[in-house]
Amino acid sequence: MRFLIASPTPEGTKLTWQHETGDKINDPFTLEFRRVGIGLSLASPAFAVCVGERFYIHEERIERVYVVVDEAEAALPNQLFPKVIDWKDNYHANHLWVANQPVEHVEALRRLEGLTHYSVVGDPGRRFPSFQHREHIARPQTLTAPDHETLHHDIEALLSTDAIDPHSGLPMVSMDPPHDPIPRLLFPFDFNTLQTQAAIRQQREVACTALWMGVMGLERSNVVHQDNEEEHEHVGDNITGY
């Protein structure tokens, strides 16, 4: 998949990609998200994931599905910082959660120009190719990484839990045969997420910690003002089927 553009919507952000292989080659497709977040683990090697939150509501019932859209790895944390800036701009990923250790790397992230602030002088666009505007920043929030058992239990729980359509009360299913149920944590085919998927199978700590940060950061920070939310009736996406 080749990423094309992010567009703001009344409910959040619409991301558009383009097929590069198969019978749909060159066809664009989109996914709409309420929020797009980044999860980081700044150990060595460092790892980052970008996660979109799909949000569904009907009366008192709410469901959220987390879609992993990108990943990155670097030998050293500072080598990963340009990718984080790029995601913040290009994916409109304004939410960022990072493991609170090592402290020195977290502090370096908080001081990172292009992510948390821009210099008051000069043209940021000359230094940062993905630059949008000066107010387009992200403020890292720290979480304590859980122990090994909790880390993998939380991820597996989301992978094994079917997303429930709030309108029908039934599991959301893929539009393609055999119409399998959609899990709450989803890895769409042909996205740049193979290392993260392998890390889950092999229980690799750094990558799984980054995934946990992104997904659980979104999960735990959710604030729903139902009086102001428009009711959303689930309609299957023409690509993912949910």
**pLDDT by residue (tens digit) across 18-32?**
988 877 787 888 999
Q: In percent, how much of the chain has pLDDT > 70?
A: 92
pLDDT band at 223 (very low <50, low <70, confident <90, very high): low
Mean pLDDT of all residues in 85-113: 97
Mean pLDDT of all residues in 92-110: 96
Output the pLDDT for position 238.
Answer: 39
Whether this model's pTM surpasses 0.85: yes
Ranking 44-53, 142-151, 225-234 by mean pLDDT, the lowest is 225-234
Would you say residue 141 lies in a domain? yes
Output the pLDDT for position 232.
Answer: 41
Residue 207 lies in domain: 36-220
Would you say residue 212 lies in a domain? yes
pLDDT band at 189 (very low <50, low <70, confident <90, very high): confident
Residue 191, number of CB atoms within 10 A of its CB? 19
Would you say residue 200 lies in a domain? yes
Output the pLDDT for position 224.
Answer: 58
Would you say residue 236 lies in a domain? no
Q: In percent, how much of the chain has pLDDT > 90?
A: 79
pLDDT at 234 over 60: no
Question: Which residues contact residue 165 at a Cβ distance below 8 angstroms, ignoring those fewer than 6 apart?
Answer: 56, 63, 171, 172, 234
What are the tens digits of pLDDT across the range 35-92? 999 999 999 899 999 999 999 999 989 999 999 999 999 999 999 999 999 999 999 9
How many domains are there within the chain? Answer: 1
pLDDT at 226 over 90: no
Output the pLDDT for position 20.
Answer: 83
Would you say residue 137 lies in a domain? yes
pLDDT band at 199 (very low <50, low <70, confident <90, very high): very high
Would you say residue 213 lies in a domain? yes
Residue with tokens 């909790």: 150
pLDDT band at 242 (very low <50, low <70, confident <90, very high): very low
Output the pLDDT for position 128.
Answer: 92
Would you say residue 238 lies in a domain? no
Would you say residue 29 lies in a domain? no
